[in-house]
Amino acid sequence: MTLAQSSASPPQPVRMVDLFAGPGGLDVAAHWLGIPVIGIEWDANACATRLEARLRTEQGDVRNWSPAHFHTASILAGGPPCQTYTVAGTGSGRRALDQVLQFVERMADGDDVSTDLTSLEDDRTGLVLEPLRWALEAHRGGHPYSTIVLEQVPAVLPVWNAVADVLQTIGYNTATGILHAEEFGVPQTRRRAILLAHKHRQVELPRPTHRRYRKGVEQSTGDPSLLPWKSMAETLTDREPFEVISNYGTGGNPKLRGKRQSNEPAATVTGKISRNRLRLTSKTKPEFDRFSLPEAGLLQTFPLEYPWSGKDVAQQIGNAIPPRLAAHVLASALGGELDETLLDEAVGGRWSVTKDSAPLAPCLRRTCDNSPSNKINPEQQKELATIS
């Protein structure tokens, strides 16, 4: 089933395939950068949001598609399901980590491990290997992706390191590591494991643009060359001061539940964010509220009035990579950096996928072209020419 982007003009050829696309965190960033993207997503709720957001989508299981279905794509991206690897999840992925790493080695040797993956306790654990399958199939088919961008929870970093080793054997330059979302202007302390790979140039993880948040340390304190981290209050400007009382990470003791003030970044936004209580600090008597779903989306840096649809919207929001972080990651993979003023405008603006809705694309190309450390070879010139 294809949920096509409605448009008066034909869509541009796909340049990026987003595996496990969810409600569109990576896709929003791709649109800001002017990259024609299609996402593969099986969840009907996330697909409902994508349809309303006019994001090009194939609805179904990633395992039923391959690079041959998207022959014009030069960028492979994705964030596989994290539920079995995250601390808040089942933990079966973390327990199976050694087994997953063995599957990586076998895939590098050309083995088809699809049947053996069914032996895992939770079949979602093996989905983390799908991007490697796609990369290897594209390489062996003679049409490798020029750029690969993968993200997941920190526990998956050993898998990304192993995948990077395999990609290096087939000619990719790679970089892996953990990024802190607040260091890129996201009003939230969220960590993500990132893998970047490129066929034609050296790659490195994006450099922080904002300071790292540390409890009790003033926003104005730190490296003067970096911008201050962003608070919830700066994002949710219509709210009076509040204190967030978290619903998790407490061992069951309500008195020990995590607390953040509105002048601090949010804790990691998860699918349970609607359970967090907000104590309105200006009231003489305790008065409590909750984050609305649009507010949760703003804390994830989705644009204003992003058209959340379907059921379980809180889970959709919590599962997504913050588009602002995704924009920095994609730009770095392509050899550029982003103008923070333009990025602020994109994040703070209303959502659009019209022909003129790529506010960061000129910035990306200009930075690439002017950077002495990133010489542009013919292959990269060809790639950059296709993303506007």
Query: Quick check: is 82 catalytic?
Result: yes
Compute the distance between CA of residue 106 and CA of residue 19 in angstroms, rounded to an integer.
22
Q: For residue 150, give both structure tokens.
A: 């993968």
Other Cβ atoms less than 10 A from the Cβ of 285: the count is 5
First CA to last CA distance, the chain: 28
Quick one: tokens of 266? 């949010």
* Placement of tokens 């050296």 in the chain: 202
Q: How far apart are alpha carbons 177 and 179 in whole angstroms?
A: 7
Q: How far is CA 37 from the centre of its chain?
A: 14
Label residue 301 left, alpha or beta by phi (over 0 means left) and psi (-120 to 50 means alpha).
left
Annotated catalytic residue: which of 47, 82, 363, 368?
A: 82
Torsion sign over Cα 137, 139, 144, 147: positive
Buried b (16+ CB within 10 A) or exposed e, 186-221: bbbbbebbbbbbbbbbebebbebbbbebeeeeebee
Question: What is the token pair recorded at 323?
Answer: 């588009």
User: Quick one: 154 exposed, middle or buried, by C-beta within 10 A (0-12, 13-18, 19+)?
Assistant: middle
Among 358, 351, 341, 342, which residue's Cα sits nearest to residue 303?
Answer: 351
Catalytic residues: 82
